[in-house]
Structure formats: structure tokens, C-alpha cells
């Protein structure tokens, strides 16, 4: 008798798991209790309704990676647009800056400006100033994680201190694209 109950319970649990995993409404029949066996009462049933699980897509960023390099030159002191496909929003996750700048008059600090707009709202400008290398003060480097959302993105040069006689910067933005609903 004990083997039959264990076998019945195993079959019922397996059947319930299969039914729930298929998304169907499953009825689980409990094994008869000793009082039910003695009186011949009917078996109780329980209805289990499957529920949707909350799922986070952790590899979404890898499905639409984005990377662009923009070269900024003091001789062409304008914003450079970063091409973003139509119907997509760029999520900038990392910015890396490298380059050189010098002035004949005194110290100069190059600045990179990232101007973004989202959902038709006025743009926001993010300022990043690379640091000079310890051994070569005319060489500048900077890398940092960030989060900037952009339906449009333009990158431009700036500086503080004396007017540069020479300045060229390479700016690499990387992140991923998401579809705009």
C-alpha cells in the first residue's frame, strides 16, 4: 500500500509539473488521506493557475552594440554628428578620449563636449576634460563609464586656458542601441 501511495504521488507531481510548464491549468489530485479511505469520501482537487514570470533580458546590450570614433581638430572647430539609425536610441556607456594639445602662450586644457537630445527635448551638454600625461604634458588621455541617452548626439571640441596652437582629439563612444517604441 505504501509503494502505491508513493507511486501515485510521484505520477501526480510529474503530471502537474508538465501541465504547469505547458501553461495549462492543471488539476492536482491529492492522495487520499486515511480518514477519506476509511469513509470512502471523494478526493479533493486543487486548481493551480500558472503565473507569468518577470524576466530581465541581461544580454540586450550585446544584441545591438554601438561604437563610433570622432576626431576633433582645432582647425575645424565644429560639432561632429554621431550617426544613430532611425527608430533607435543610443545608450552611451563608455567614453574614451586621447589626443594632443599645446599653446604657445601658456597651459591649455582641452575639453570634449557631448551634446545629446532625447524625445524631442532640448539638448543637454556633457563636458569631459582629459588629463595631461605626467611625462608629456601636451598628451591628454581620459576614459570613463557613463550613461547618456541620445536620439541625436554631436561631439565638439572646447578648451580652457590659453588658445591652443595645436589640438587634435580622438573620442570613442561605445554603448548599445535600443528600439524606440
**What pLDDT is attached to residue 24?**
40
State the pairing for strand pair 166-179/88-102: antiparallel
Report how far residue 163's alpha carbon sits from residue 144's, in angstroms, rounded to the nearest whole number: 26
Q: What is the three-class DSSP state of 163?
A: coil
Three cell numbers, residue 39: 469513509
Q: Where in the chain is the domain with CATH 2.60.120.340?
A: 60-179
pLDDT at residue 17 in the model: 52
Q: Of 19 and 158, which is predicted with more confidence?
A: 158
**pLDDT at residue 69, as a whole number:** 97
Whether pLDDT at 5 is above 90: no
* CATH of segment(s) 60-179: 2.60.120.340
Mean pLDDT of 139-153: 96
Per-residue model confidence (pLDDT) at position 28: 47
Q: How many Cβ atoms from other residues are within 10 Å of residue 95's Cβ?
A: 21
**Residue 25 to residue 18: CA distance in whole angstroms:** 10
pLDDT over 70 (residue 42): no
The 10s digit of each residue's pLDDT in 52-98 is 777 666 556 667 899 999 999 988 889 999 999 999 999 999 999 99
Query: Which residues contact residue 76 at a Cβ distance below 8 angstroms, ignoring those fewer than 6 apart?
Result: none
What confidence score (pLDDT) does residue 63 get?
Answer: 79
Chain segment 122-144, per-residue pLDDT in tens: 889 999 999 999 999 999 999 99
SS3 34: helix
Report the percentage of the chain scoring pLDDT > 90: 58
Compute the mean pLDDT over every residue in the chain, rounded to the nearest whole number. Answer: 81
- pLDDT given for residue 173 in this prediction: 97
Report residue 99's pLDDT band, with 50, 70 and 90 as the boundaries. Answer: very high
Q: Which of 95, 172, 98, 165 is nearest to 136 (CA)?
A: 98
Residue 23 DSSP class? T
Amino acid at each position: 500500500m505504501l509503494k502505491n501511495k508513493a507511486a501515485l504521488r510521484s505520477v501526480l507531481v510529474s503530471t502537474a509539473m508538465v501541465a504547469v510548464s505547458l501553461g495549462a491549468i492543471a488539476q492536482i489530485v491529492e492522495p487520499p488521506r486515511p480518514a477519506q479511505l476509511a469513509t470512502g469520501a471523494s478526493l479533493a482537487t486543487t486548481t493551480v493557475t500558472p503565473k507569468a514570470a518577470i524576466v530581465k533580458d541581461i544580454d540586450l546590450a550585446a544584441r545591438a552594440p554601438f561604437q563610433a570614433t570622432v576626431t576633433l581638430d582645432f582647425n575645424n572647430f565644429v560639432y561632429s554628428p554621431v550617426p544613430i539609425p532611425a527608430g533607435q536610441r543610443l545608450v552611451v556607456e563608455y567614453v574614451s578620449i586621447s589626443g594632443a594639445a599645446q599653446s604657445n602662450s601658456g597651459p591649455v586644457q582641452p575639453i570634449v563636449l557631448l551634446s545629446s537630445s532625447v524625445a524631442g527635448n532640448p539638448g543637454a551638454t556633457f563636458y569631459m576634460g582629459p588629463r595631461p600625461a605626467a611625462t608629456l604634458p601636451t598628451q591628454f588621455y581620459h576614459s570613463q563609464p557613463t550613461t547618456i541617452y541620445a536620439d541625436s548626439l554631436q561631439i565638439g571640441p572646447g578648451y580652457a586656458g590659453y588658445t591652443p596652437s595645436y589640438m587634435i582629439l580622438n573620442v570613442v563612444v561605445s554603448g548599445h542601441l535600443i528600439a524606440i517604441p
